[in-house]
Every structure is written in structure tokens, then in C-alpha cells.
Amino acid sequence: EYMVVNREDNGDPPGLDPDQITELRELGLY
């Protein structure tokens, strides 16, 4: 849910580090 909120602020990736985003994508969470 927090990712949806952050997406409004940041546009593309939620306010996470690129490495974290990669992990989430690999896990299918993002």
C-alpha cells in the first residue's frame, strides 16, 4: 500500500533504492 502512496510522489519507482526495487521485482512484489 505504501508503494502506491510513494508512486504518486515519485512517479516511477516507489521511494526505494534501485537494489530494493530489483529485489521486489524479482519477488513479484512490485
5 pLDDT tier (thresholds 50, 70, 90):
low
Query: Looking only at Cα atoms, what is the longest distance across the chain?
Result: 23
Q: Is 24 exposed, middle or buried (0-12, 13-18, 19+ CB in 10 A)?
A: middle
* 9-25 pLDDT, tens digit each: 555 555 667 888 888 88
Number of Cα atoms under 13 Å in the Cβ half of residue 20: 6
Global pTM? 0.36
For residue 18, the model assigns a pLDDT of: 82
